[in-house]
């Protein structure tokens, strides 16, 4: 058993870490305040291969695998969760669905530009009436001649306002519904009838724009069907399975940032005539944080290793997302407690971290859904089938 990272992953982390500290940290506060990441910074990250990190080099990616991608998400989310979320939606789920199930032709047409960040992608699953019940989607795609016409709405779409390409799950056969009757389409922003809404006013992740997208008779050529007609739901569920690993990695970065901030603070802050690092109440919080973070790190990178080695990983991926999001929320909350009133101040980065972290318990499958996923995988191992 060997828990060391490979030399390329160590080097990759060093490069990404340096980029995050030098280029993203000084801007992170502004990104939150202005609800916008500088497009030039995104382009820069594209040139460095951040947008296609896990994908093979033949497809235009960097070939760093799931482990490399988890390192990226951990480091990004440690410094600027808004930026991490832009890449998470773009790479981890939107481009990932194309990478997993797209035809060679479709990949060739879209993946190089997505990997280089020239085009930004969004993942269109959630609808006003289909959140946790993803199978309840209603956006309709009707075949006429050699084109489909898309009608309906997608909601809470990360990157919605800035996306050039959107992967959309639509119902092609209402009789079958999502299971067997839904198909993924690659839709371009400029196409007639596609209208992104205004960015939502969210609690956190202000720099990662989220919006409604309305489809009004949007014509999509047949060639832009991603994967097989009728099997789109499978493609999207498979994509979300793998996305949970890197989302877990992102939450690890958030939790780590909280611990680092706390360790700096307990040394600098004195009460009762000595640094608060001497108080056992503080020490216990630090110990709990560090222990949970270490457990999460092991889970995340072991699961990334499962993905890279082609082994089954669905149960562990759900655990990454579930444990990660709750660990991050808990650690950031403890860090805020350690910082006292200053932690509550908007002049300190913890307040932003606290707001940014909460969504991880909700998006990409609520933690309740994760528990169902994990339980169904567990029960399947003893021959009990609970997932419809």
Partner 1 sequence: MNILVFLRPILDPAGFIVNRKAQKVFVNRENYILNPTDKNALEAALRLSDTVTAVSIGDAPAEDALRQARAIGASRAMLVRDAALKSADASVMTTVLQRLVPHLDGADLMLLGAEVVDADLAQLGPRLAMALGWPFIEGAQEIFVRGHGVHAITRPRASVRRPAPAPPFADRKKARGPEDPALAPRTRGGWSAGARQTDGFHQIEADLPAVISVARDSNKPRYSPGARLVNVYQANDVVEILTAADLGLSEADLAPLTERHGESFPPERELGKVAEGSLDEIAGRVMDVIRKR
Residue in 278, 259, 243, 248 with CA at minimum distance from that of residue 330 = 259
260 is catalytic: no
Output the smallest distance, CB 93 to partner 1, in A.
Answer: 19
Q: Which of 43, 63, 229, 230 binds partner 1 (CB under 8 A)?
A: 63
Q: What are 247's two structure tokens?
A: 């989302």
Q: Where are the alpha helices (DSSP H) in the chain?
A: 7-19, 25-33, 39-47, 65-79, 81-87, 96-101, 104-115, 178-181, 232-268, 280-308, 314-339, 341-344, 349-357, 367-380
Give 47 or 217: the residue with its C-beta nearer to partner 1: 47
Long-range contacts of residues 178-182, Cβ cutoff 8 Å, at least 24 apart:
178/134, 178/135, 178/136, 178/137, 178/233, 179/135, 179/233, 180/230, 180/231, 180/233, 181/230, 182/137, 182/230, 182/232, 182/233
Output the smallest distance, CB 24 to partner 1, in A.
Answer: 12
Output the smallest distance, CB 17 to partner 1, in A.
Answer: 11
Q: Which of 61, 117, 181, 324 binds partner 1 (CB under 8 A)?
A: 61
Active-site residue, selected from the candidate residues 66, 74, 316, 364? 364
CA angle (117, 118, 123) in 5-degree steps = 60
Applying CB under 8 A, the span of 50-58, 146-154, 212-220, 361-369 interacting with partner 1 comes to 50-58
Q: What are 235's two structure tokens?
A: 């493609």
Residue with tokens 């773009």: 90
CA pseudo-torsion sign 242, 248, 251, 257:
negative
Q: What are 200's two structure tokens?
A: 């939502």
Output the smallest distance, CB 101 to partner 1, in A.
Answer: 23
Applying CB under 8 A, the span of 63-71, 172-180, 214-222, 293-301 interacting with partner 1 comes to 63-71
Residue in 122, 128, 169, 176 with CA at minimum distance from that of residue 150 = 169
Rounded distance between C-alpha atoms, residue 209 and residue 186, angstroms: 20
Applying CB under 8 A, the span of 56-64, 129-137, 244-252, 284-292 interacting with partner 1 comes to 56-64
Output the smallest distance, CB 47 to partner 1, in A.
Answer: 7
Give 12 or 178: the residue with its C-beta nearer to partner 1: 12
Beta-carbon neighbour count of residue 52 at 10 Å? Answer: 27
Interface pattern 247-286 for partner 1 (x via CB under 8 A): ----------------------------------------
Is 57 a residue that touches partner 1 (CB under 8 A)?
yes
The bridge status of strand 147-158 relative to strand 210-221 is antiparallel
Rounded distance between C-alpha atoms, residue 339 and residue 352, angstroms: 14
Is 378 a residue that touches partner 1 (CB under 8 A)?
no
Q: Which of 26, 33, 34, 47 binds partner 1 (CB under 8 A)?
A: 47
Residues between 6 and 45 that touch partner 1 (CB under 8 A)? 6-8, 11-12, 14-15, 18-19
Output the smallest distance, CB 284 to partner 1, in A.
Answer: 24
Give 234 or 263: the residue with its C-beta nearer to partner 1: 263
Q: Which of 50, 99, 156, 236 binds partner 1 (CB under 8 A)?
A: 50
Total residues contacting partner 1 (rule CB under 8 A)?
Answer: 20
Q: Which of 36, 41, 43, 48 binds partner 1 (CB under 8 A)?
A: 48
Beta-carbon neighbour count of residue 150 at 10 Å? Answer: 24
Residues that bind partner 1 (CB under 8 A): 6-8, 11-12, 14-15, 18-19, 47-50, 53, 57, 61-64, 68
For the annotated catalytic residues, the residue numbers are 364
């Amino acid at each position: 058993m060997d828990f060391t990272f490979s030399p390329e992953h160590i080097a990759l982390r060093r490069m990404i870490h340096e980029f995050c500290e030098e280029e993203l940290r000084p801007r992170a506060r502004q990104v939150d305040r202005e609800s916008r990441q500088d497009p030039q910074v995104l382009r820069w990250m594209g040139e460095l291969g951040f947008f296609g990190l896990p994908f093979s080099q033949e497809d235009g990616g960097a070939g760093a695998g799931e482990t490399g991608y988890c390192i990226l998400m951990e480091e990004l989310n440690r410094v600027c969760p808004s930026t991490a979320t832009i890449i998470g939606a773009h790479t981890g789920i939107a481009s990932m669905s194309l990478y997993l199930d797209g035809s060679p032709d479709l990949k060739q047409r879209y993946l190089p530009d997505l990997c280089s960040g020239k085009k930004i992608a969004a993942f269109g699953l959630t609808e006003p009436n289909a959140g946790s019940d993803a199978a309840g989607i209603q956006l309709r795609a009707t075949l006429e001649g050699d084109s489909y016409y898309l009608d309906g709405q997608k909601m809470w779409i990360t990157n919605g306002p800035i996306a050039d390409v959107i992967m959309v799950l639509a119902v092609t056969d209402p009789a079958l519904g999502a299971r067997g009757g839904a198909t993924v389409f690659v839709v371009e922003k400029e196409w007639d009838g596609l209208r992104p809404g205004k960015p939502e006013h969210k609690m956190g992740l202000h720099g990662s724009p989220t919006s409604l997208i309305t489809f009004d008779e949007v014509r999509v050529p047949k060639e832009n069907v991603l994967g097989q007609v009728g099997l789109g739901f499978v493609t999207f569920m498979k994509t979300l399975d793998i996305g949970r690993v890197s989302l877990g990695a992102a939450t690890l970065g958030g939790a780590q940032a909280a611990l680092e901030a706390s360790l700096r603070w307990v040394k600098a802050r004195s009460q009762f005539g000595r640094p608060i690092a001497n108080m056992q109440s503080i020490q216990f919080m630090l110990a709990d944080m560090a222990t949970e973070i270490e457990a999460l790190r092991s889970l995340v990178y072991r699961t990334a290793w499962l993905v890279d080695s082609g082994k089954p990983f669905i149960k562990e991926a759900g655990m990454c997302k579930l444990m990660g999001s709750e660990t991050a929320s808990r650690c950031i909350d403890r860090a805020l407690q350690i910082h006292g009133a200053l932690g509550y101040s908007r002049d300190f980065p913890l307040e932003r971290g606290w707001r940014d972290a909460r969504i991880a318990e909700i998006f990409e499958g609520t933690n309740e859904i994760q528990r169902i996923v994990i339980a169904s995988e567990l029960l399947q191992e003893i021959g009990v089938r609970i997932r419809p």
